[in-house]
Amino acid sequence: ETGGRSLSAFCAVPSPSFVGCVPGRGVARAVVVVRAGEDCLVLAHYKASELLKVRGRVNELVTLKQASRCRVGGPFSVDLGTRALESISADARGVFLDDDAIPLSWKDLQKMTKKGKTGAYECYEDGWERIAEFSDKTQRAISLLPIAKGVAPTVVIGGFGMHRIKSSDPWTDTQLKMKALGTASGNALDICTGLGYTAIALADQSTVDRVTTIELDPSIVNIQLRNPWSRRLFQNPKIHREVGDAVKVLPTLPDRSFSTIVHDPPALALCNELYTLEFYQQLRRTLKPSGKLYHYVGDPASKESGRLYNGIMDRLQQAGFQQVKKADGAFGIIAR
């Protein structure tokens, strides 16, 4: 659904206070205007609901003719919690991101919060748009899904969530993978970039010189570009992004070229070719003899993921990995 475009999200604090009023201005179109130097802001569905709670007090003040626009004290976190505004203003038309901004109308906020609606919305000067794609590569729907205030969002592909969101959250999930791996060093390989959290976490380690990350789907790259939490994927010079099929890219990489490999494939139902003996042999070939592999599988206690572990561990051993063990807390396998 559209009404404009965006790339950040509101996170209004509970019970915002009205700390002042500003003079009324001319009629403006009912969409969010980007502040100077910015392309857009991203608004999560649940934050749209919080902003709607401001409306009653605004209408009361307008009716009493005390002011045409009121200042609402924050802070209001934006870009899905990656930065904050000290305050916003609002009037009978909607909310403003600064004194000169065009409002996001109450009607638009209601559209974003219809029963059952979830998602992140890009809010541009000329409208808003849900952050979602339909992949020509895989013929599957893809969408960015905010989880909670201050928490990195996940991505949903063909109905499958790509991160843990029940017992953990996407960024904590990434840190658990890093903990299972231990200290990484030298050159690292990240297979299935997704939103880029793993590549970012690897590159954050001072002992890592370079991270090569491979993503199959250009539509996922578009989601990365629209996700505030993925920005460092494009900003960190240690990260080298490759768009292509890992099954085809891996054989082109030199022998023993990586000290660390993170293999983070989607569900088996989406890409069984990333779970084959032949693919694991390529992982072993490109990993240094002293290197370490982390392979995401899923919750070992679940029926669907739990039954995969033994087969994956057997194939890794057949591929030449000598030490293969479960990393239950990280929902995966460590092999070397």
| CATH 3.40.50.150 location in the chain | 163-335
DSSP, collapsed to helix, strand or coil, labels residue 54 as coil
Give residue-wise pLDDT tens across range 255-297: 999 999 999 998 888 899 999 999 999 999 999 999 999 999 9
Instruction: Give dist(CA 234, CA 241) in Å, integer.
Output: 8
pLDDT at 21 over 50: no
How much is the mean pLDDT over the chain? 84
163-335 belongs to which CATH class? Answer: alpha beta
Query: Helix, strand, coil % (nearest 5) of the chain?
Result: 30, 30, 40
Stretch 232-244: mean pLDDT: 97
Lowest mean pLDDT among 94-98, 155-159, 168-172, 267-271: 94-98
| Those residues with Cβ within 8 angstroms of residue 166's Cβ, 6 or more apart along the chain or in another chain | none
User: What's the per-residue H, E or C state across 104-138?
Assistant: EEHHHHHHHCCCCCCCEEEEECCEEEECEEECCCC
**Contact (Cβ atoms closer than 8 angstroms) between residue 213 and residue 199:** yes
- The pairing of beta strand 186-191 with beta strand 258-263: parallel
Say if residue 75's pLDDT is above 60: yes
Percent of the chain with pLDDT over 70: 85
Per-residue pLDDT band for 223 (boundaries 50, 70, 90) equals: very high
Indicate if the pLDDT at residue 62 is higher than 50. Answer: yes
What digits encode the pLDDT tens for the residues 108-119? 999 998 877 899
**Residue 252: exposed, middle, or buried by beta-carbon count in 10 A (0-12, 13-18, 19+)?**
exposed
| Higher pLDDT, residue 147 or 14 | 147
Per-residue pLDDT tens over the stretch 162-200: 888 887 899 999 999 999 999 999 999 999 999 999 999
Residue range 314-336, pLDDT digits in tens: 999 999 999 999 998 999 999 99
Residue 11 has pLDDT above 60, yes or no: no
| Concatenated DSSP letters of 59-113 | HHHHHTTS-SEEEEEEEEEETTTTEEEEEEEEESSEEESSTTPPPEEHHHHHHHT
Neighbour count for residue 35 (Cβ, 10 Å): 14
The predicted structure's pLDDT at residue 99? 55
Confidence of residue 65 (pLDDT cuts 50, 70, 90): low
What is the pLDDT, as a whole number, of residue 237? 97
